A and B are shown apart, each in its own frame.
Chain A
Amino acid sequence: MSATLAAQPVPVRSTAHSARNIAIAGNPNSGKSTIFNALTGLRQKVGNYPGVTVERKVGRFYGSHGEPMTLLDLPGSYSLQVRALDEAVSRDVLLGREPGTPQPDLVIVVADASNLERNLYLVAQILDLNLPTVVALNMVDMAERAGIRIDVPALEAELGVPVIPVVATQGTGLVALKQAISRPLLPENAKRPPMPELIEREVRALAKQLPVSAAVAFPEALLLLTLHDQALDDLAEHNPDTVRATLSAQERLRVAGLDPLCALVEARYAWINEVCQRTVHKPDAGPGLSLSDRMDQFLTHRLWGWVVFLGAMTLMFLSIFTLAQIPMGWIDSGMHALAAWLGELLPASQLRDLIVDGAIPGVGGVLMFLPQIMILYFFLGLLEDSGYMARAAFLMDRVMSTVGLHGKSFIPLLSSFACAIPGIMAARTVENRNDRIATILIAPLMSCSARIPVYTLMIAVLLPTTSALAKAGMMLALYLLGIGAAFVMAWIFKKTVLKSEASMLLLELPPYRKPSLRSVALCMKERAGLFVTRAGTVILALSILLWALATYPKPTDPNATRAEAISQSFAGQMGRTLEPAIRPLGYDWKIGIGLISSFAAREVFVGTMAIVYNVEGDMKEGTATLRDTMRAERRADGTPVFTPLVCVGLMVFYVLAMQCISTLAVVRRETNSWRWPLVMVTLLTVLAWTGAFVVFQGGRLLGFQ
């Protein structure tokens, strides 16, 4: 066993004038984000690392002498061992390999004091990196309440780096943390967890052969040597000599009976055991259960667990669909008022039409979704922060595993009922790549809120006189159809193109805690901003494009009605071109225009139908009038267009079809290729067409109309 690494030249990392680069690392649930938020406040920027979809969050703050600092939030992870994209990013940043991100001058490692042993594992890995390090010992209040006493000076002596007790949620200890960061630190002070001698020797030999600077050669060699088979394609980015040297070193260790990674982990935990024995005093486990434990007995109970779970989900969706109506109404009338005002103010011109009929409804269409998205993230933030989210995954894992997915896929799918875009963005928490892609591919099958106006209209056309209960039942059936289709598709994906060894579930169940409204509010703000910038721009551009398609070329007759104008526009021509493809479904070209316009956002279907059938009036009366007009619509041969089979078929089509270009744009961004959005749109279009075809033609064969 060896102790510290021989003194290596300390690289000069920053000057007194430029901002110091600090990185913050920590386990999931260690309160890393809370510390990040507490230090940087609102001075944060969320972006992506170049070429990958891992989120890059940077904030600014000032040290205890007023010196500027840049704080980079590394993805929360239990280990630096590379298994997923975000772990690779963490490692690359810490080793100074990430393009566009300088190697940090200092690393803050957040460790949860109430769960120190496992948290020290990441600390041990970071100490091996030979970077100036400060440990933020978070949640010392919770540890104290649990009767855990940590001897901080002794822990500092054991680790050789400053250890600062912090209660991030209350801001306690942040001043001391800033002071520790501002103090000059010498990396040689840091203790290095011992490792088996055989491994240490191989690491040193390998380090000498690496074409990197001396400062990072040792940690680089250590991480290379412990790469596992599954992550070995990660080696491809190294030169052939390095690969050969790594593989032969691994082979020598295996012959000696050592799995490099397993042996190293065991050695680190042996060291952690010793450190904790000397610094942590734990109470003897009493017979009593903690509060969190008693809550779990109820919340994961065979019966009550499901009652609470379903209740929470119902509450969340009721809020999304009812509470959001109020601000959505304001936005809607505000946008109408703005359009009317500008319509009178500006002289009649094509530009005025573009602004009033294209841009303003486009912006409105984006903003209309914001209340729902913010409510969704309010609940998701609350569930995450309180610790309940992990229990939801715990309850649902068995259900999800029937189609080869994980409990963690549940939340992205749930979010997709509000809008597929936040759902697809939430799929980042699914570690396994194939599971994540499968989750993304089925997310649009969850009926999003944009489909509700379409469902409502079509149910009204189909069943104008039945009770509200029957209508609600019909609505529920449509939701269930989407869920069923999603599960079948996931099962098929996991059996074919996205086959992977059943991924491992490692789900931490953190103790329940009172959610911090500040964190939840920050999360809402951040997500709403991301939605507006990432999806909003696409929706806006498309709304304007679709407006242009429905407006040009202009009719030659200036007295033409809106219906006549749209029928000879590009959109009308496209509807006619599309007609042969949708005639087997019982649709005419007018429905075709509606389908095309849905690509901006599905609820645009309703507005387009109103234009196509020349129905004027505001939304409320408009829907009733539109319903009656649609019911009265006849084909050339005098038969009704909207027969029950056409209505049902159209609803099935809307449940299954991928008609949202914004979603496709987000899928492109999240999977970093055009492949998956193309697969998605092709498969779901075929599925929707087939579904509507089966309903229409099958229904006719059975004698229905």
Chain B
Amino acid sequence: MSRSAPGLPENNLPLVALAARQIARITGFDLPPERRARLLEMGLTTGAQVQLIRFAPLGDPVEIEVRGYRLSLRKKEAAGIRVALP
């Protein structure tokens, strides 16, 4: 698997820095509580495994896999999800 953007620490990446099909684990959020709660309710909890599937043809939104299902988020929110590579 390809490593992403050089210079970023591998244990604290924004989710959007992953390459397509790359798997990582959620470590935290840089989002206001209301948005964080909505993501949590969709199963994006700390420690959950996420996979970046693809970006939409126009570059935004992004499709991810979490807890066995596919979810699409805008890059703006996805950038607020911090992940660590395994």
A contacts, CB < 8 Å to B: 78-79, 81, 83, 114-118, 121, 148, 228-230, 259, 261-262, 265-266, 269-270, 282, 296, 300-302, 305-306, 390, 394-395, 397-399, 401, 407, 502, 504-511
Contacts and interface: CB of A to CB of B under 8 A. Distances in A.
Interface in B1-20: none
Contact of A397 (B41, B45, B56): B56
B56 A394 contact: yes
B56 A81 contact: no
B45 A266 contact: yes
Nearest to B63: A509
B34 A305 contact: no
A183 to B, nearest CB: 31
A229 B41 CA distance: 16
A314 to B, nearest CB: 18
Nearest to B54: A300
Interface string B17-56: 0000000000000000111111111110110100000101
Contacts of A83: 38
A259 B46 contact: no
B77 A504 contact: yes
Given A121-B43, A507-B71, A262 B57 contact: no
B61 A508 contact: no
A506 B77 CA distance: 10
Consensus secondary structure, chain B interface: mixed
A314 B57 CA distance: 20
A507 B39 CA distance: 11
Contacts of B70: 508-511
B57 A397 contact: no
A397 B78 CA distance: 15
A259 B33 contact: yes
5 contacts: A114-B68, A265-B40, A302-B57, A506-B42, A509-B70
B43 to A, nearest CB: 5
B57 A261 contact: no
B13 to A, nearest CB: 21
B34 A117 contact: no
Interface residues of B, number: 32
B62 to A, nearest CB: 10
A508 B72 CA distance: 6
B86 interface: no
Contacts, number: 113
Contacts of B54: 296, 300
Contacts of A502: 76
A121 B34 contact: no
A372 B54 CA distance: 36
Given A265-B45, A397-B60, A117 B67 contact: yes
A398 B56 CA distance: 8
B56 A230 contact: no
Contacts of B77: 504-505
A394 B37 contact: no
Contacts of A269: 40, 43, 45, 48
Given A504-B35, A509-B63, A118 B72 contact: no
Contacts of B46: 266
Given A262-B33, A306-B57, A117 B41 contact: no
Contacts of A509: 63, 70-72
A302 B60 CA distance: 12
A229 B37 CA distance: 12
A611 B42 CA distance: 60
A398 B60 contact: yes
A118 B71 CA distance: 11
Given A115-B67, A262-B37, 14 more contacts: A79-B41, A115-B68, A118-B68, A259-B36, A265-B40, A265-B41, A302-B57, A390-B72, A397-B56, A399-B58, A401-B60, A505-B74, A506-B42, A506-B71
Nearest to B56: A394
A395 B63 contact: no
Contact of B68 (A117, A300, A407, A506): A117
Given A117-B67, A282-B68, A505-B74, A398 B59 contact: yes
A81 B35 CA distance: 13
B79 to A, nearest CB: 13
A508 B34 contact: no
A83 B39 CA distance: 13
B34 A398 contact: no
A118 B36 contact: no
A262 B40 contact: yes
B41 to A, nearest CB: 5
Contact of B58 (A79, A261, A398): A398
A78 B69 contact: no
A620 B70 CA distance: 52
A121 B38 CA distance: 12
A78 B38 CA distance: 10
Residue of B54, B63, B74 contacting most chain A CB atoms (<10 Å): B74
B61 A78 contact: no
B33 A228 contact: yes
Nearest to B74: A505
Given A230-B34, A305-B57, A394 B45 contact: no
Contacts of B68: 114-118, 148, 282
Given A394-B63, A508-B71, A118 B58 contact: no
A81 B61 contact: no
B34 to A, nearest CB: 5
Given A265-B45, A269-B43, A401 B74 contact: yes
B43 A118 contact: yes
Given A266-B40, A394-B56, A401-B60, A229 B69 contact: no
Contacts of A261: 33, 37
B71 A300 contact: no
A519 to B, nearest CB: 21
Contacts of B59: 398
Contacts of B39: 506
Given A506-B38, A509-B72, A510-B70, A395 B56 contact: yes
Nearest to B35: A504
B36 to A, nearest CB: 6
Contacts of A296: 54
A259 B36 CA distance: 11
